[in-house]
Each structure stands twice: as C-alpha cells, then as structure tokens.
Structure 1
C-alpha cells in the first residue's frame, strides 16, 4: 500500500468535507449556484486525482486502502464541473469492482450521478431530490422494477429501506430545527 498517496487522498477528502460544513454553518450553503470556493476546491482535487490516475490507475483498496479508495471516490463524485472525467471514472470503477478493489456502492453512486447530470435516468436509485414538501424522493430510475436487484448486487440496501432512512434523517433534522427555534 502507498501510505503517502492514501494520506494525500484522505487529506483531500477531509478538506472537502471541512469546507462543506464550514459553508453550511456560515449559511452560504445551500445555494442556487455552485459556491465558488467549493468549485475551486473540487476542481483542484479533480486535477490532482487525474494525475494520480495517470500514474497509478484507479486508486483502489490495494493501492491506498479502504479510506483512501473512498476518498478518491469522493473527489470524483464532487467533480461535477468535469462530467467527462466523471464518466471516464465510471469505467475505471467498473473494472475495480470486477477485481474487488473498491466497494460496489462507490460505482453505484458515481454512475447514477453521471447519468442524472447527463439528463438520463439513474440506474441504482442513489440520487435523491426533495419533493414539493421537502421530503426525499429519488430522481427517475431506469427499469424501476429491478432496481433492488441491481442495488443488492453492489451491496446496497433496498430503495425502500434507503428512502425510509433518508426520511427519518429529515424528520430528525426538522425536529432539531424546531427545538432550537
């Protein structure tokens, strides 16, 4: 395992999450537009990930460990201003899943995000929006009847279970808001 590379990727993920929380806490997020500081960080991280991929291939578990592989996934998941790069990484993740070098949910989330950003229906049901009342609802899903089979193949729980988890999280968030008001 390349510990230095793993540490670098995990550091990129930590910086991403720190800035995200900082912007939420300051009230700058959510926003109708891509926050310029968040966009700049995402683009910087994506550029570095491209260099890493160019040198090493996809940074999977065998190269950077589980946390490093998760960090690489997060970087590409947040590379929304470079859809072509994201789509290329879907193929790399498919190969990595086939050789059991990343966990399947990473492929599901990235592939669905790329499909949604491309104007297509998602395949695994990982991407959610809010309905008119603010409750989570999945973006359209291709071949809805078999989505739970696809989710199970990549280690995800059923769409119904995920929707219930997200709904419960929203209930708790709303209860916390009411308590502090």
Structure 2
C-alpha cells in the first residue's frame, strides 16, 4: 500500500481541515482496527463457551474504534481509496458499519463517505450500505435493501421504503438487483 506525503493528500481532498496533517499510518490503523473487529466477530460465529463475554468485547471494541476513527475522521476526512488504498478505505467503511452502538458516529461517517463518493474517492455502494445500516439502527425502513435477516431459514431484507423502486436506487449506487443479492445471501447462509 502506498502512502503519499501530506501535500498530496491535501491536493486529493483527503484532509478535512487545512493545516492539519493526517497521521502517516492512518490507513494502517484502519486495517489493524478492522482485523481486531473481525477476530472478535469470527469468534462469535463458532461454538462459544462465554457468549456474553464476547458480546461485551465486541461492543467495547466497537465503541473504541468509533471514538478513535471519529477523531481521525475529523482530522483526515474519509480515506481516499486512490491515496490510502482499497484495503484501508474498505476497513473504514466496515468500521463505520459495525459502530451500531454509536449511530451519531455512523451519521458523521456517512456524510464524509458521501462526499468522498461524490469525488470518486469511495464506491457509491458503500454509501448505500451505510445509509441502510443507519436507517435500520433508527428502526426506519431502509432505502437499498442491503440489511437482511434470516426468517425461517430464508434471507429477507429488513423493511424497505418504496420497494417498487429499490432496484432503481440500487443501480444508481452500483448494486446488483435485489433478487440477485438475496439469492447470493441465501447461498452463503445455506453454506454456513
């Protein structure tokens, strides 16, 4: 992964506040935080002797990542995938997705992600996923059908606002049709 000097970052629009340098290891921090997040989540999928302890660990880690990433986000802005690399940008998005206990942080991250996507610095599909995650966390219908649940062994989307036009919204955010997404999710669910 290539990291460029601060003047290149400012030219690319990745620095949120003029004159404030982003740490050179911004991307590495995001990737490391995601690795820790995924390790805890992987443990949740197996046979668990002390499930409550793991849930507490996941919530504590998520809160710390939201706090630390939020501080970096204020200084650095959203990590431009063209500068920090796709791995760091994806890590940022997943960390924001997993900050379910801090919806205010998710909303801040979404604003930064949306600006980055508008500049070509982040995939539009990530905006759709984070938008739906926030709406679902707020107990509101999602817009893109990205958030699913298993009901009697079938993967189904959480409630969708204006479902007749969901595929049009999905296409505008570089997502496949909902029926294809559900089929893929069902295959993964059945294979677990």
State the secondary structure of the residue aligned to 2:128. Answer: helix
Structure 2 contact 73–109 (Cα < 8 Å) conserved: no
Query: How far apart are residue 30 of structure 1 and its match?
Result: 7.7
| TM-score of the pair, normalised by structure 2 | 0.82
Structure 1 contact 52–59 (Cα < 8 Å) conserved: no
Q: Which moved more, 1:156-165 or 1:18-27?
A: 18-27
State the secondary structure of the residue aligned to 2:85. Answer: helix
Query: How far apart are residue 29 of structure 1 and its match?
Result: 8.9
Q: Is 1:141–2:160 an aligned residue pair? A: yes
State the secondary structure of the residue aligned to 1:129. Answer: strand
Structure 2 contact 44–54 (Cα < 8 Å) conserved: no
Q: Which moved more, 1:98-107 or 1:15-24?
A: 15-24
Structure 1 contact 105–154 (Cα < 8 Å) conserved: yes
Where do 5+ consecutive residues of structure 2 fail to align? 5-23
Give the length in aligned residue pairs: 171
Residues 14-52 of structure 1, C-alpha deviations (whole Å, 9 max, x = no match): 111111112322426987x98100001111111110111
Q: Is 1:118–2:143 an aligned residue pair? A: no
Where do 5+ consecutive residues of structure 1 fail to align? 174-181
State the secondary structure of the residue aligned to 2:57. Answer: helix
Q: 2:90 aligns with which of 70, 83, 91?
A: 70
Structure 2 contact 125–174 (Cα < 8 Å) conserved: yes
Q: Is 1:27–2:48 an aligned residue pair? A: yes
For the residues of structure 1 that align with 2:54 and 2:139, how far apart are their CA atoms? 18
**2:37 aligned partner:** 16
| TM-score of the pair, normalised by structure 1 | 0.87
Q: Is 1:51–2:51 an aligned residue pair? A: no
State the secondary structure of the residue aligned to 1:156. Answer: coil
Residues 108-149 of structure 1, C-alpha deviations (whole Å, 9 max, x = no match): 111001001111100011000111x12110011111111111
**1:102 aligned partner:** 122
State the secondary structure of the residue aligned to 2:48. Answer: coil
Structure 2 contact 40–54 (Cα < 8 Å) conserved: no
Q: Given the superposition, is the C-alpha separation of residues 81 and 160 from structure 1 closer, same or farther in structure 2, using an over 3 Å criterion?
A: same
Matches within 5 A, 1:83-94: 83-94=103-114
Structure 1 contact 115–122 (Cα < 8 Å) conserved: yes
For the residues of structure 2 that align with 1:68 and 1:74, how far apart are their CA atoms? 10
